[in-house]
Amino acid sequence: MVNRTVLAHRLFTGISRQHLACLAAELAVPWQAGVEGRRLAARGGVRKRAAGAGARHQLVFVDRLMAPLIHLRHDLPHAVLGLLFGVDRSTVTRAIGEVRTLLAERGCAVPDRPGLRLRTLADVFAYAQAEGIALRLDATEIQVRRPPAGRGGRRAFVSGKKKQNTMKATVIADDQGRTLWTDTLRPGRMHDATAARNEGIAICFQHFPDVEVLLDDGYLGLSRDHRGQAITPPRKPRPGALPGRVEQWERDRHGHSSDRITVEHALADHKRWKQLTRWTHRRDRLPDTYRAVAGLVSDRTTTA
């Protein structure tokens, strides 16, 4: 008979067994600390019985970690995961909520720097300046459920580009397409440049003057405010320009696009996780979900 964890790992093919073991070892301690903290708050004081007394967890930690990973990868219902692991649906729901938060707080891994993880935009700029690399920044939109009629701020999620209710994620990658950072997500109606400014990118440009960020045409305002650092595609020559000037513009624009395409590859890696193709759950849980997926993707790409 096939072990339940082995069967679950065959279903979930996003990470290797070695990565799963490292992930379990990394998250076991903070998860146990969170459990004990909630127990302490519920008791209102220290425990009165020896450690080990009381009810046991129905899921061992590896299974408790595997259930959220399968949910992130394939968006299986909690009830189906409960049948797979032989527990009640509420147990799976609780496990997903706990582990998703831990995964979101990990940040993104850094190539050739074991143990170092980037959690804030300032961390990414400091790493880029220390390593002398140019960053690639872009935004992507994820379709979400439409807010109920009559609720305030309903129009904020209507994307002008997709004409759908979306949330916008801003992602930074390096020249190899490895994810280095993602933001807290913004309503889809917000402009790409505004979302980046709200994350404090202007302050980062000021404190890290040697860092260059390759952008697309949606960030022309940043390019105007931070010349030499926020680099957008060259502007198209005016009508009637010399043929040589037009040809040079086409070469420069193609070169810029080729250098910036790696962030598009990073976004494509994120969208391979089914939950990020279209979000059908509560909108306030999407930011943690996206950061959790970005961290898992960064773990794999650092060894590529």
Q: How do residues 123-144 score in pLDDT, each as one tens digit?
A: 999 999 999 999 999 999 999 9
Q: Radius of gyration of the chain from Cα atoms?
A: 22
Separation CA 233–CA 257 (nearest Å): 8
Residues 6+ apart with CB under 8 A from 80: none
If one compares 1 and 109, the residue with the highest pLDDT of the two is: 109
DSSP, collapsed to helix, strand or coil, labels residue 178 as coil
Q: Which helix (H) or strand (E) holds 135?
A: strand 135-143
Q: For the ranges 142-156, 237-251, 280-294, which has the lowest average pLDDT?
A: 142-156
Residues 6+ apart with CB under 8 A from 55: none
Q: Which helix (H) or strand (E) holds 244?
A: helix 243-271
How does strand 230-231 pair with strand 213-214?
Answer: parallel
* Helix, strand, coil tally for the chain in percent (to 5): 55, 10, 35
Q: pLDDT for 168-202, tens place per residue?
A: 999 999 999 999 999 989 999 999 999 999 999 99
Residue 127, CA atoms < 13 Å, CB-side half-sphere: 21
Residue 294, CA atoms < 13 Å, CB-side half-sphere: 32
Separation CA 132–CA 124 (nearest Å): 12
- List C-alpha distances in Å: 193 to 8, 34, 45, 139, 259: 41, 37, 48, 9, 20
**Stated pTM of the model:** 0.89
Separation CA 294–CA 238 (nearest Å): 41
